[in-house]
């Protein structure tokens, strides 16, 4: 039963009791009716007090609901902002990952070129070493030939000098 219904029932009872008081009846009945009307009036006052208290509590609860609703909206806004920030960070991570992969590919290509150049350098070092050895051999051969030419020149000179002496 709601407080409105209870209030109306008490008012109806009060009106009925007052109507009975106006009827011809004994004083005892009239006193009883007045007493019941006063009890109904007191009960009505209590119901009004309870109703006022309940309305006050309802208003306080409604205020609290409004505050919580505002806080909830703020939290929702913060969540949306955090989600956007997270999405931005994920996009940045994806872009950085893409750039890193490109740099790794370039580094691998560069390393392959460095390895090839190192192999070519080793080959050239080997060729230079072989050419230096060949140069040493040729220098030795040239020196040997020069020595032989000098010896041949000396022999020819000796032979040339000995021939005029023999002719004399």
Structure confidence by residue, pLDDT tens digits, 30-44: 788 788 878 888 888
Mean pLDDT on 94-101:
97
Residue 72, pLDDT score: 96
Residue 140, pLDDT score: 95
Q: How confident is the model at residue 23 (pLDDT cuts 50, 70, 90)?
A: low
* Residue 1 and residue 47 in contact, taking contact as beta carbons nearer than 8 Å: no
Q: Please state, in angstroms and rounded to a whole number, the distance separating the CA atoms of residues 4 and 16.
A: 18
Provide, rounded to the nearest whole percent, the portion of the chain with pLDDT above 70: 82
Residue 36, pLDDT score: 83
The tokens for 11 are 């008012």
- Tell if the pTM clears 0.75, that is, is over it: no
Residue whose tokens read 């390393």: 111
Higher pLDDT, 156 or 80: 80
* Residue 43 and residue 3 in contact, taking contact as beta carbons nearer than 8 Å: no
Structure confidence by residue, pLDDT tens digits, 51-95: 899 999 999 999 999 999 999 999 999 999 999 999 999 999 999
Check pLDDT > 90 for residue 159. no
Total structural domains within the chain = 1
Domain that holds residue 72: 3-167
Residue 98, pLDDT score: 97
Check pLDDT > 60 for residue 111. yes
Q: Please state, in angstroms and rounded to a whole number, the distance separating the CA atoms of residues 86 and 132.
A: 67
């Amino acid at each position: 039963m709601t407080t409105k219904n209870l209030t109306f029932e008490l008012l109806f009872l009060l009106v009925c009791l007052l109507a009975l008081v106006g009827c011809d009846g004994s004083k005892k009945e009239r006193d009883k009716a007045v007493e019941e009307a006063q009890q109904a009036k007191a009960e009505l006052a209590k119901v009004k007090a309870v109703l006022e208290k309940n309305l006050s509590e309802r208003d306080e609860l409604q205020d609290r609901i409004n505050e919580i609703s505002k806080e909830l909206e703020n939290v929702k806004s913060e969540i949306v902002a955090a989600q956007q920030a997270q999405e931005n960070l994920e996009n940045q991570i994806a872009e950085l990952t893409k750039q890193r992969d490109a740099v790794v590919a370039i580094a691998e290509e560069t390393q392959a070129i460095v390895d090839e150049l190192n192999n070519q350098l080793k080959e050239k070092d080997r060729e230079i070493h072989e050419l230096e050895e060949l140069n040493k051999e040729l220098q030795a051969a040239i020196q040997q030939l020069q020595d032989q030419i000098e010896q041949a020149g000396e022999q020819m000179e000796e032979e040339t000098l000995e021939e005029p002496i023999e002719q004399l």
